[in-house]
Chain A
Amino acid sequence: MKTMLNKITLVAIAAVMLGTSACREKNNEPVPISNGSLTMKFEHTWGSSQAWEPNKTFVHARTNDTLTFTMLKYYISNIRLQKSDETWWSQPNSYYLVDASTNASPTITITDVPGTEYIAMQYTIGVDSARNVSGAQTGALSVINGMFWDWNTGYIMAKAEGTSPNANTVSKTFAIHLGGFAGPNKVVTTKNIDFRAEANRYVAIGDVYNPTMTVKVDVASLWKTAPGVGTISTVHMEGPQAATFGKDFFGSFTFSNITLK
């Protein structure tokens, strides 16, 4: 009798589990066939709760610096999506320059994504080593974007500039330029998002599904461990300083949510 009850309980638990997992892993709609798009929206915060905006003054909780940003740009590259059959689609020539200098929530749109259901995504903050050593590039990687060092070849993966009364420069400006595509001070960072774990579902792209994924970026994390602008107002080359800023800032990029359509 006891064993019988246990068996029933087990079966019941198993049935519930199966049900939930089916709900979590499969959309009820048919799998998309035609190509679609995925939009990435970058929402900038100041610390965990405050919304960040360009040209607005913030005080840093750790360094006590008063900071006003006039420029915030960074590269997003090498976008890959994993299909439900576990094969990967890699976007060709996948380079975007995200510019938050005039818009607190800039977006980039990945078009011509093969229509199907996806279980995971990968993207890189910065520009991979290959494109740093292969000569003249075009589009987002063109040198006219001002994100390339002429004297010491390499992309500036991220730029944060602005003014601060605490800055140690005569002009009271700060300019944090983060580069380093290889070696011990590499700042290029790859992010992985498991849609089943983080969004609790498969992500359909194509047909009527062109979802928008929001990534949260904490601008204050630039100074998570680095000294304030009274000590370092300018970073203009790769090296241990850039590596520290890069690790903390790029480390703050986190998946927030993804819309259904």
Chain B
Amino acid sequence: MPGISKHIVLLICLIPGILACNKKSGTTENTVIPPVAEYPLRPAHFPPAVYQHTSNPYSTKGYELGKRLFFDPILSANNTISCGSCHKPASAFADGGVALSKGVDGKTGKRHSPAIFNMAWNKSFMWDGGVNHIEIMPFAPIINPVEMAQDMRELIHELNTHPAYPEMFSSVFGKDSIDDQQLFYALAQYMSNLVSADAKYDKMKRGETTFSAEEMEGYRLFQTHCNACHTEPLFTDNSYRNNGLDKTFSDSGRYRISQRAEDMGTFKVPTLRNVALTPPYMHDGRIKTLTDVVEHYATGVQPSATLSPLLIKNGNPGLQLNDTEKQRIIQFLYTLTDSSFVAQHTH
């Protein structure tokens, strides 16, 4: 009898939770907010993280300060755009279907806002890998005229004269005034702890669930055709590749950074985790659906001098997949959706 009443209580507790999940937005009072992790999240089945918090010790207060800054438009020139404007938690920190995100005054650049999570494992940042460290990564969008268009001195002044930030920063870093290093440290504490590792794929790997026959077939096809670049468990090998979108390049990609001929038209291999939540696809957001992405790799690969040799089969560009194979791969890609990650950060 006591056992039954416990179950009923549990069920009653769950009902508002389910209802809240069905709402796109609205009240969050029924959502159970998980506590902020006391240590940086480092899943056991992931390799060692690149970012080690060496000079920026992690704290829950630092994470919470970073989170507040991430969603605060104070970071932009006219206080209209926050990091979260183009990296929306509900879209796994991508920009919810937008090919080219809008910065201040509706300005746009030429590259797509990537989904940002598991960044503590990134060796470089941006589509061309031009930024070498997570701490100084936000500097680029903050000062870019088509993104946040902010003046750094002005921003530091705004933070130092804000009614709340000076006390928050001082409680985390113990300094008299806020400088850009503290701003970057706080943002890094938040961003490096956006960890997605609880998709069906991860549960399968941990033995908590099993794949359907179709998903398992998709997984095997993925390992044959895709895993060389989108390498498990992070689903990227952090390399730069030309995946055959074009024969000539309006955006030189990695070449802009390295000035090496072999890098012309190459871009960083993005993770495929949460890929079903992050359309559109490619560095410029040109492909709208996952079906079209897989079709591109099967039949749409364009030859050029720097095309990844992994996309050439029997002397011809393209992976030459049949319709069933394409479908199975997509079924597998859906197992990379981490709903609990999204739910945890959507509040």
Contacts and interface: CB of A to CB of B under 8 A. Distances in A.
Interface string B120-131: 000000100011
B223 interface: no
Interface string A90-105: 0000000000000000
Contacts of A150: 131, 136, 139-140, 143-144
Contact of B133 (A138, A152, A153): A153
A134 B50 CA distance: 12
Interface residues of B, number: 27
Given A143-B139, A152-B257, A136 B130 contact: no
Nearest to A132: B132
Interface core residue of A133, A135, A137 (most chain B CB under 10 Å):
A135
A150 B141 CA distance: 9
Contacts of A134: 54-55, 133
B254 to A, nearest CB: 11
Nearest to A151: B130
A239 interface: yes
A137 B133 CA distance: 12
A132 B179 CA distance: 18
A142 interface: yes
Contact of A138 (B134, B143, B181): B181
B152 A143 contact: yes
A115 B298 CA distance: 73
B257 A133 contact: no
B338 interface: no
Nearest to B124: A153
B109 to A, nearest CB: 11
B160 to A, nearest CB: 12
A216 B143 CA distance: 35
A144 interface: yes
A150 B185 CA distance: 16
Interface string B128-162: 00111111100110011000000011001000000
10 contacts: A133-B132, A135-B134, A135-B135, A136-B135, A137-B181, A144-B156, A144-B180, A151-B131, A152-B130, A153-B133
Interface of B: 54-56, 126, 130-136, 139-140, 143-144, 152-153, 156, 179-181, 184-185, 188, 256-257, 259
